[in-house]
């Protein structure tokens, strides 16, 4: 299967700070790749490179057939329609109710048919098991519910790829399990490719088909989670808390 995301010898610097020095990897459709690494190693920067919000200092990033380095603005807009992201804090609009939060990306992209919008909102709420919550506001939701509404909003435009930035941070064990189960369902039932940044190792073990560990600007491990956890010394040190922030 041809890869849908390719990083080819990517370097990313901010002034004199080289966050990524030489990172290469591919992601094929239907994978659930969790990106591991100490804080400050540029895991979220990878997401911004995928979305075309940042561009590599060296090397190339290709997402869904689009080379972000040479893409036009119209191509980047089209790319972002196909890639959804769930932010760490869910990033809901406090002044909008659940219905309008989920409808927002549809309206932003020109959808004016209220029947279509209503059907999409209803379907996405069913996916995240929050049917009937349309008229609540974010202030009336728990942390886990906010994450699930954020996911429903990200799914509104039927993305082919989902990016999850610390999806379980700050949640209780029951909410963590719900988010994990949703990520698994997206892959198994909707064939959505997922990339996850997390420090939650038990969660990463549940949801991932693959792990990638980055540190000091390089990819230092990449493979099936159980194998890496059992056989790779670098991964073992990281998941047992013996690798500290650089």
pLDDT tens digits, one per residue of 41-59: 889 999 999 999 999 999 9
Check which CATH number belongs to the domain holding 234 and give it: 3.40.50.300
Could you tell me which of 50, 67, 3 has the C-alpha nearest to residue 165?
50
- pLDDT per position as a tens digit, 51-84: 999 999 999 999 999 999 999 999 999 999 899 9
Task: Answer with the residue of higher pLDDT: 244 or 161.
Answer: 161
- pLDDT per position as a tens digit, 214-226: 999 999 999 999 9
Q: Is residue 82 part of a domain?
A: no
Whether the predicted pLDDT of 243 surpasses 90: no
Distances (CA, A) of 186 to 16, 110, 154, 168, 204: 39, 25, 12, 16, 15
Whether the predicted pLDDT of 151 surpasses 70: yes
User: Which residues sit opposite 20 in a β-bridge?
Assistant: 12
* Lookup: tokens for 122: 């209803």
Question: What average pLDDT does the structure give for the chain?
Answer: 91
- In degrees, rounded to 5, the angle at the alpha carbon of residue 215 between the alpha carbons of residues 165 and 227 is 80
* Lookup: tokens for 65: 């057939």
The pLDDT value recorded for residue 170 is 83
CA 168 to chain centre: 12
The pLDDT value recorded for residue 244 is 54
Q: Is residue 205 part of a domain?
A: yes
- pLDDT (average), residues 175-190: 89
CA trace torsion 196, 193, 227, 236 (10° rounding):
-10
Q: Is residue 143 part of a domain?
A: no
C-alpha to C-alpha distance for 33 and 143, rounded to whole angstroms: 24
Q: How many CB atoms lie within 10 A of CB 144?
A: 19
Whether the predicted pLDDT of 39 surpasses 90: no
Distances (CA, A) of 76 to 23, 47, 58, 63, 79: 22, 14, 19, 10, 5
User: Which residues sit opposite 193 in a β-bridge?
Assistant: 161
Q: Is residue 226 part of a domain?
A: yes
Whether the predicted pLDDT of 172 surpasses 60: yes
Q: Is residue 88 part of a domain?
A: no
Whether the predicted pLDDT of 242 surpasses 80: no
- pLDDT per position as a tens digit, 98-122: 999 999 989 988 888 999 999 999 9
- Would the CA dihedral through 212, 217, 218, 221 be positive or negative? negative
Range of the domain at 205: 1-73+194-246
The pLDDT value recorded for residue 86 is 86
Q: Is residue 177 part of a domain?
A: no
Q: Is residue 11 part of a domain?
A: yes
Domain count, the chain: 1
């Amino acid at each position: 299967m041809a890869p849908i995301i390719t990083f080819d010898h990517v370097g990313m610097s901010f002034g004199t700070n080289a966050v990524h020095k030489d990172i290469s990897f591919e992601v094929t459709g239907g994978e659930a790749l969790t990106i591991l690494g100490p804080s400050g190693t540029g895991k979220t920067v990878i997401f911004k490179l995928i979305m075309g919000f940042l561009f590599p200092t060296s090397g190339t990033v290709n997402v869904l057939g689009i080379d972000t380095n040479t893409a036009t603005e119209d191509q980047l807009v089209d790319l972002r329609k196909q890639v959804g992201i769930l932010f760490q804090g869910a990033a809901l609009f406090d002044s909008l109710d659940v219905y309008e939060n989920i409808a927002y990306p549809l309206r932003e992209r020109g959808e004016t048919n209220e029947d279509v919008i209503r059907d999409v909102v209803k379907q996405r709420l069913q996916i995240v098991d929050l049917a009937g919550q349309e008229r609540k506001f974010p202030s009336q939701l728990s942390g886990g519910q906010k994450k699930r509404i954020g996911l429903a909003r990200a799914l509104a435009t039927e993305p082919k790829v989902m990016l999850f930035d610390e999806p379980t941070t700050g949640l209780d064990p029951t909410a963590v399990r719900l988010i994990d189960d949703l990520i698994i369902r997206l892959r198994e039932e909707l064939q959505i490719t997922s990339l996850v940044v997390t420090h939650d190792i038990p969660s990463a073990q549940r949801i991932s088909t693959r792990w990638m560990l980055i540190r000091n600007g390089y990819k230092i491990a990449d493979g099936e989670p159980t194998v890496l956890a059992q056989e790779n010394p670098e991964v073992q040190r990281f998941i047992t808390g013996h690798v500290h922030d650089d």
